[in-house]
Chains A and B, each alone.
Chain A
Amino acid sequence: MKYKTKLYIGFGAITALMIFLLGIVSSLVTNIHTSVDEIVNDRYKKVEQATIVQNEVNNMTRALTNMLLADNDQQFQEEQNQLKKSRLQVATSLEYLNQHIKLPQGVENLAHMEVAYDNYSQLEKEILEDISAGRVAEASTKITHNAGLMKRELFTAIQNLKQFQEGLLDVAHQRAIESYYFTMKVTIGFVLAGLLLAIGITFWVIRSIGNSLNRITSAISSTEIGPSENLPRIEIITKDEIGEIARAFNQMADSLEKHNKQELEYKEAMQEHNWLKTKVAEITANYQGVQDLAALGQLIITKLSPLVGASYGVFYIKDGQDQQQRLQRKASYAFDGEAVGAEGFAMGEGLVGQCALENRPILLTDVPRHYAQIQSGLGYATPTQVIIMPVEFEGEVLAVIELASLEPFTELHQSLLASVLDTLGAAINSVASNMRIRKLLRESQTLTEELQSQSEELQLQQEELRSINEKLEEQYRNSELKTKELEKVKVDLEEKAKQVQQASQYKSEFLANMSHELRTPLNSLLILAKIMSENKEGNLSQKQVEFAHTIYSAGNDLLHLINDILDLSKVEAGKMSISPTDLSIYEIQAFAERHFRTIAAQKEIQFDIRLAQELPKRIYSDEQRLQQILTNLLSNAFKFTHEGRVTLEVRHAEPEELADHSFMYEVDPVLALSVIDTGIGIPKEKQSIIFEAFQQADGTTSRKYGGTGLGLSISREIAQLLGGCITVNSAEGVGSTFTLYLPAFYLDAKTEEILSLNEAAVGTYLDAAAAPVADEYTKVQDEKGESDSHEESLTDMEESSEVQLAGRKILVVDDDMRNVFALTTALEDRQMNVIFAENGREAIKMMEEHPDTDMVLMDIMMPEMDGYEAMRTIRQMPSYKSLPIIALTAKAMKHDRDKCIEAGASDYISKPVHMDQLFSLMKVWLYKK
């Protein structure tokens, strides 16, 4: 119900109640009024009229008396008037009473009264006629007697009427009081009822309005203006205005809430936006100064991962060109190195590759267990989300970033990632190009430095070359100087050589004779011992035969020893001649077969001869000597081998084998003839001495194995004569390998000498060209070191290498004669030839006359042609382009000196000339001239 209706009903009800009450009260009051009116107007009037009648009758009596007693007419008259008046009055009252008394008893009473009155009025008229007839005594008796009686009668009638009327009055009064009480009761009842009703309505109206209002008030008052999300709502119970208000309020609350919510969202969006911007700016600011991609990647991954709540992250950068493009891991965050994250991916390989290929981020939600483990010291967990995002620049993917998180990535995180990666593309590009530039710069710098170092080295080599040349020249000069001495020495030496040769010849002859002399009896001894040991006649005891054998074998040893000594002395005396012939490898093979096959069979040792492929068919060497060496090596091998095998191997020598034998280095081809045995071997420390004369590996072995101990030394000497050498390689208990390196084509001593000289020369030139100049340099130095004993001659040499001033032709150009004199004296003291000119022109003339001038000392300030011009002129002459010209200048200004140099002076010296300084200067400029 509407509030208006409610109010209408409330107030209407109260108004109606009031009207009803008023009606009741007014009817009751009218009732009372009627009763009172009846009492007052009817009963009381009737009593009053009856009273008036009584009074007027009295008055008439009195008036009659008075008329009797009247002295004069006038009084009489007055009394008469009075009488008349009373009569009229009584008549009026009676008239009134007749009209108003309706009740039968009243009417009866009134009739009595009127009769009484008529009687009275008859008496009165008689009295009056008596008075008017002078019968005063009669009149007085009538008045006193009759009138009194009459009056009593009348008064009784009046009294009856009055009594009757008063009785009625009492009844009316009683009735009025009853009516009053009734009215009072009814009125009070109604008023009370109305009052209660009014109060009820009022209470109802107030209550219903108040409650609604209270609800609204409480709702409103509990509404706080602020960013609250939950505004109170008013429950709409009624459909009245309050309900409307409530509805309106609710609507307002709704829109307020909506507004707040929007505002809040907007604010949050703003905050997020700001956060985003700040973080992006923070990260971008860090790009500054990053100089390589790995550092940039590490920076990004370490900054970005915690920002987006990622627990591990990997950063891949694209590497390589075209088809070979790969994504290489450059940086990582909380990455444990092995378990997670591959080193790299090809484009399109795996999700990382796919992401790069499509240039589209990939988000993995619901990552399966064991996909990747995020580890800490306390444990590990599987990430819930993995995001893989490309980093692009101008549409090209440059890098890929992969992050894994225990929490899902929010949109904010994703947009942060997107924003950062947007800027990262440009940064990577710039860092990469920066790196490229730096790399190029670095490369160019390195090349420049390399160039410089090469140029310095070249300079150094040049210098070394020059110094070597100088040294060589010096040596050449030196040798020339010494040649003569040498010639002399040579003559002496030749003389001595002759003597030595003679002595040697004596020795050889002695040895030859000696051996012959020894051999002849020894041969007889051997033959006889042999015959004896055969015991053909059978007359010798077993013991004696044994003795004869011993004599024979000892003699045989002695013969070998003598032969060996002879050979050795021949070799050492240079007497062993080499007679090379053409021979075939197969001949060597056949020789070995022939001589050692049987021994091998006897000793039950395997004997192999191996010839390598592609050996030269024919060689040129001394067959006999070669056989001598082979025989020696092979017999040694068989001697020291008790089981196993002996092998003779012929092959080409490998270059590295010859490294230690530089003298064979240039010779080609070189044969290697190895004798390999499985004998007792030679201890390392003995290997060097076995080639010495009379040495065997073990001092005691000679006893066991026999032999002179000269075989190897003779073999070595012969090998050297043949242009080769012998090496040994052995291990004790395993066996030995003796290798003879032999040039396939023997060169006799003279040809060899010439050749080696040539080679050396060629080598020097080649070396010089190829750079290792220091070779020669060190050689020279070595020679110098060796020739320390010739210190004296060296100092001589140094002295001679000093710049010689003596004999030089010096042109002095000066117009100051004192100066010329002083200079000339000083120079001539040093045995120099001095010519002089007074001015430039003259100087040029002198130069033309003396083209062999070594140096010019040129004054500047001169008449006719000054020094500058003179120098310029001289320099224009082709043959004097590099002639040393020393300017003599009195001026101290640098400018003047520069002018000298510009004009063509080689150097300058200030006047007055300091002689020592001048000589130093001259030495500098005359150097090498």
Chain B
Amino acid sequence: MNQEELETIEIELLLEGIYRYYGFDFRNYAVSSIRRRIWHRIRAERLTSISGLQERVLHDARVMEQLLADFSINVTEMFRDPGFFLAFRQKVVPILRDYPFIRIWHAGCSTGQEVYSMAILLHEEGLFDRTRLYATDMNEHVLRRAKTGTFPLDKMQLYTKNYLAAGGTRAFSEYYTVKSDQAIFEPFLGDNIVFAQHNLATDRSFNEFHVIICRNVMIYFDETLQNRVHDLFYDSLCMSGFFGLGNREGVVCTSHANDYEEVDGLEKIYRKVR
């Protein structure tokens, strides 16, 4: 048996152990990514093997918490991939205007930047008052940060650029005030946002939505879990609802390839047609 197989076994045992003991299900995450994160934690804990980490993780909840933080890659920006928000503004918003009430699900919202971006966009388009944004993530820690609606100042220059590129119609500075090294966003933006813990790998649908946005989340999942999550989104999306993915993702390789039509192929915005 070579080293690689042994490693695979160790990873599987670790993930199984985490699932059985803590209830977090990472068993269907993309192996290459999870392997990197695991080794990252092993080095950080000054360990030498995955089995060693397993021992630590199962006996020390603090290490588990660290590993959990490692597993959830919270890379996000406001108006991340501005083209997506621009396309959303141009192609989706005109249709949403006809809806009396709009429910949007932001799955894997991380620290909430994109949810606030969407709130700003909808506010500028005059739709925010009749919208409810459901922002979910499996990591409660990042959700707590998201709820504060404050983002680090060092990113604000980038966010401003993104805002402009995403077709912002006003001044970005209208939405925040700076205190210390944090930009605090207008509290009204948080009024229609519901933050909740939700694990795509284990939890079920909780409402029917007009728009579901899940960007760069499923890239960490393997095919099985991707298909499960696609099923979940398909079931949660109302007919003619919109589905937004990260621009490296797509529905083509999933079992629902034929259930969506492209609204914007480049920015990966789809619409449920059957």
* Chain A: minimal CB distance from B60 (Å): 13
Chain B residues with CB under 8 Å of A774's CB are 40-41, 44, 70
Instruction: Assess whether A273 is interfacial by the CB under 8 Å rule.
Output: no
Instruction: Assess whether B145 is interfacial by the CB under 8 Å rule.
Output: no
Is A909 touching B181 in the complex (CB atoms < 8 A)?
Answer: no
Chain A residues with CB under 8 Å of B37's CB are 457
Instruction: Assess whether A441 is interfacial by the CB under 8 Å rule.
Output: yes
Is B220 touching A453 in the complex (CB atoms < 8 A)?
Answer: yes
In the complex, which residues 1-44 of chain B have their Cβ closer than 8 Å to any Cβ of chain A? 30, 32-33, 36-37, 39-41, 43-44
Chain B residues with CB under 8 Å of A920's CB are 173, 176-178, 183
Q: In whole angstroms, what is the CA distance A803 to B157 when docked?
A: 14
Instruction: Assess whether A491 is interfacial by the CB under 8 Å rule.
Output: no
* Chain B: minimal CB distance from A736 (Å): 25
Chain A residues with CB under 8 Å of B176's CB are 920
Q: Digit string of A905-925 for contact with B (CB within 8 Å is 1, else 0)?
A: 011111000001111110111
State the total of A-B contacts with C-beta under 8 angstroms: 128
Is B248 touching A451 in the complex (CB atoms < 8 A)?
Answer: yes
Residue among A446, A898, A909 with the highest chain B CB neighbour number at 10 A: A446
Chain A residues with CB under 8 Å of B266's CB are none
- Contact partner, A453, options B30, B44, B157, B171, Cβ 8 Å: B30
Instruction: Assess whether B205 is interfacial by the CB under 8 Å rule.
Output: no
In the complex, which residues 884-929 of chain A have their Cβ closer than 8 Å to any Cβ of chain B? 894, 897-898, 901, 906-910, 916-921, 923-925, 927-928
* Chain A: minimal CB distance from B177 (Å): 5
Is A445 touching B250 in the complex (CB atoms < 8 A)?
Answer: yes
Instruction: Assess whether B95 is interfacial by the CB under 8 Å rule.
Output: no
Q: In whole angstroms, what is the CA distance A378 to B177 when docked?
A: 83
**B interface residues, tally (CB under 8 Å):** 46
Chain A residues with CB under 8 Å of B39's CB are 772
Q: In whole angstroms, what is the CA distance A928 to B181 when docked?
A: 11
Main SS class of interface, A: helix
Q: In whole angstroms, what is the CA distance A130 to B111 when docked?
A: 209
Q: In whole angstroms, what is the CA distance A906 to B44 when docked?
A: 39
Q: In whole angstroms, what is the CA distance A803 to B156 when docked?
A: 13
Instruction: Assess whether B143 is interfacial by the CB under 8 Å rule.
Output: no
Q: In whole angstroms, what is the CA distance A774 to B33 when docked?
A: 16
Chain B residues with CB under 8 Å of A452's CB are 216, 219, 246, 248-249
Q: In whole angstroms, what is the CA distance A771 to B40 when docked?
A: 7
Instruction: Assess whether A778 is interfacial by the CB under 8 Å rule.
Output: yes
Is B154 touching A772 in the complex (CB atoms < 8 A)?
Answer: no
Residue among B36, B176, B178, B250 with the highest chain A CB neighbour number at 10 A: B178
Is A924 touching B171 in the complex (CB atoms < 8 A)?
Answer: no
- Contact partner, B43, options A441, A453, A772, Cβ 8 Å: A772
Is A925 touching B36 in the complex (CB atoms < 8 A)?
Answer: no
Is B74 touching A453 in the complex (CB atoms < 8 A)?
Answer: no
Q: In whole angstroms, what is the CA distance A919 to B249 when docked?
A: 40
| Given A441-B252, A927-B156, A919-B171 contact (CB < 8 Å) | no
Chain A residues with CB under 8 Å of B253's CB are 438, 441-442, 445
Chain A residues with CB under 8 Å of B75's CB are 456-457, 459-460, 463
Q: In whole angstroms, what is the CA distance A778 to B40 when docked?
A: 12
Q: In whole angstroms, what is the CA distance A908 to B160 when docked?
A: 10
* Chain B: minimal CB distance from A667 (Å): 16
Instruction: Assess whether B196 is interfacial by the CB under 8 Å rule.
Output: no
Chain B residues with CB under 8 Å of A451's CB are 248
Chain B residues with CB under 8 Å of A767's CB are 43
Chain A residues with CB under 8 Å of B73's CB are 453, 456-457, 460
Instruction: Assess whether A449 is interfacial by the CB under 8 Å rule.
Output: yes
Binding site for A on B (CB under 8 A): 30, 32-33, 36-37, 39-41, 43-44, 46, 48, 66, 70, 73-75, 153-154, 156-157, 160, 164, 169-174, 176-178, 180-181, 183, 216, 218-220, 223, 246, 248-250, 252-253
Name the 3 nearest CB pairs between A and B, nearest first: A772-B43, A449-B219, A920-B178
